[in-house]
């Protein structure tokens, strides 16, 4: 994951991590669909948008573009025109109960991106802790006085732009955290974030022993409408064919974790027009790998000898989503 992608994700995922010191998660869930912020670092700019929010799920979009191609007509109008010149347009779905990323989809590439890597940047963000920046170390405006003089300088706050207009004398609160010693570009770095009234932070400093990187806000606001559909749901996928183990049959699936329960059916291909037959199964899950076990007696009761069948998976409470096996078995 490149540096720009990492700092972009910081802007909204930090809100899930610090309920103990500062309930940024509560702050985030008070946001509304259409709330957005535009941040910049280096030569890139990214729009971060709340698409949907509930007690359990937060969906966001990130649209990135080179600053040299930043829209002159305004960010809202640019996005309504499908963000011409954008380099990436990604949707994220976050489980607010588990504080983890459960889905990641690229509208630009029209494909899902891998979200279950245990070393994923977002996974580490969810466990990072923040403490309020002590006033003794806060940045102030102007040069420091000599040792004999009292320091009466005002605290520095980052600039805030709301719907294209600069906000005069914004009130901010900075928070400090330290990135773990991993192999990333910001390993061991001190990170300071400035928060105001927005559900997003307005400014981020990433402090390393050799340099300091700043992520600043270009604009912010609300009522931003995305032309993209909400992040699509993946269907479960069969992993190979069903197999016999002693007196039961085993089916393995790759299944998104937001499908908590699966219903298994078989279609009798030997009798045209017959309704799918429900089967009782036991289910075990390890991340996205699901194992379904069907007892031999269950199959003996429900199926007819010599008939051909195909498996069907329907997630509970998602009747518009299903998965159909490629293999056909004869009972």
pLDDT of residue 208: 78
**Domain total for the chain?**
2
Cα separation, 314 vs 108, whole angstroms: 29
Q: Supply the pLDDT for residue 11.
A: 52
Strand partners, 88: 64
- pLDDT recorded at residue 7: 52
Residues 173 and 40 placed together within one structural domain of the fold: yes
> What's the Rg (C-alpha) of the chain?
25
pLDDT at 128: 62
Centre a 10 Å sphere on the Cβ of residue 9 and count the other Cβ atoms it contains. Answer: 22
Whether 39 and 173 map to the same domain: the answer is: yes
Q: Are 247 and 298 in contact (CB under 8 A)?
A: no
Considering the domain architecture, whether residues 124 and 151 belong to the same structural domain is answered as yes
Whether the Cβ atoms of residue 206 and residue 221 lie closer than 8 Å to each other = no
Last residue of a domain, one of 221, 250, 282: 221
Q: What is the pLDDT of residue 20?
A: 44
From the first residue on, what is the mean pLDDT of each consecutive set of 10 residues in the chain (331 residues)?
52 48 62 91 90 87 91 91 93 82 89 64 57 88 82 89 89 84 79 84 82 86 94 89 88 89 91 88 90 91 92 85 88 87
C-alpha to C-alpha distance for 155 and 205, rounded to whole angstroms: 16
Of 221, 256, 286, which one is at a domain's C-terminal end? 221
* pLDDT value of residue 283: 92
Question: Would you state the pLDDT for residue 295?
Answer: 92
Positive or negative, the CA dihedral 42, 47, 53, 58 is negative
Looking at 179, 196, 221, the residue that finishes a domain is 221
pLDDT score for 45? 92
The answer to the question of residue 230 being in a domain is no
pLDDT tens column, 249-285? 899 999 988 888 999 999 999 888 888 999 999 999 9
Question: Which run of H or E residues covers position 286?
Answer: strand 282-286
CA 239 to CA 292: how far, in whole Å? 11
Q: Are residues 209 and 104 in the same domain?
A: yes
Is residue 83 assigned to a domain? yes
Q: Which residues pair with 215 in a beta bridge?
A: 204
Enclosing domain of residue 303: 237-330
Q: Specify the DSSP class assigned to residue 16.
A: G
Tell me, yes or no, whether 275 and 146 share the same domain.
no
Closest C-alpha to 207, from 179, 235, 226, 237: 179
CA 289 remoteness from chain centre:
20
Q: Is 221 left (phi over 0), alpha (psi -120 to 50) or beta?
A: left
pTM: 0.77
Q: Does the residue 229 lie in any domain?
A: no
Q: 231 lies in a domain?
A: no
Asked if residue 56 belongs to a domain, the reply is: yes
- What is the per-residue pLDDT for 22? 56
């Amino acid at each position: 994951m490149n540096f720009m992608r990492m700092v972009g994700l910081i802007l909204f995922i930090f809100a899930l991590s610090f309920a103990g010191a500062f309930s940024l998660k509560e702050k985030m869930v008070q946001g509304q669909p259409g709330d957005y912020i535009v941040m910049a670092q280096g030569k890139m700019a990214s729009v971060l948008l709340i698409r949907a929010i509930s007690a359990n799920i937060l969906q966001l979009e990130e649209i990135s573009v080179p600053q040299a191609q930043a829209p002159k007509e305004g960010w809202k109008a640019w996005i309504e025109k499908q963000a011409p010149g954008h380099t990436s347009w990604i949707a994220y779905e976050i489980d607010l109960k588990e504080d983890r990323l459960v889905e990641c989809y690229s509208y630009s590439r029209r494909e899902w991106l891998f979200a279950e890597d245990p070393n994923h940047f977002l996974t580490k963000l969810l466990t990072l802790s923040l403490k309020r920046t002590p006033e003794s170390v806060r940045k102030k405006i102007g040069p420091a006085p000599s040792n004999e003089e009292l320091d009466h300088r005002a605290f520095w706050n980052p600039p805030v732009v709301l719907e294209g207009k600069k906000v005069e004398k914004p009130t901010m609160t900075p928070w400090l955290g330290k990135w773990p010693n991993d192999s990333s570009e910001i390993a061991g770095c001190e990170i300071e974030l400035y928060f105001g009234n927005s559900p997003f932070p307005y400014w981020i400093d990433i402090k390393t022993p050799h340099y300091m990187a700043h992520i600043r806000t270009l604009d912010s606001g609300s009522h931003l409408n995305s032309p993209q559909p909400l992040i699509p749901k993946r269907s479960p996928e069969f992993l190979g064919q069903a197999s016999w183990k002693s007196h039961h049959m085993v089916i393995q699936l790759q299944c998104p974790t937001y499908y908590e329960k699966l219903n298994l059916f078989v279609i009798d291909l030997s009798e045209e027009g017959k309704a799918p037959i429900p089967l009782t199964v036991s289910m075990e899950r390890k991340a996205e790998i699901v194992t379904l076990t069907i007892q031999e007696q269950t199959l003996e009761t429900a199926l007819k000898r010599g008939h051909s069948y195909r498996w069907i998976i329907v997630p509970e409470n998602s009747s518009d989503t299903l998965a159909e096996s490629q293999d056909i078995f004869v009972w």
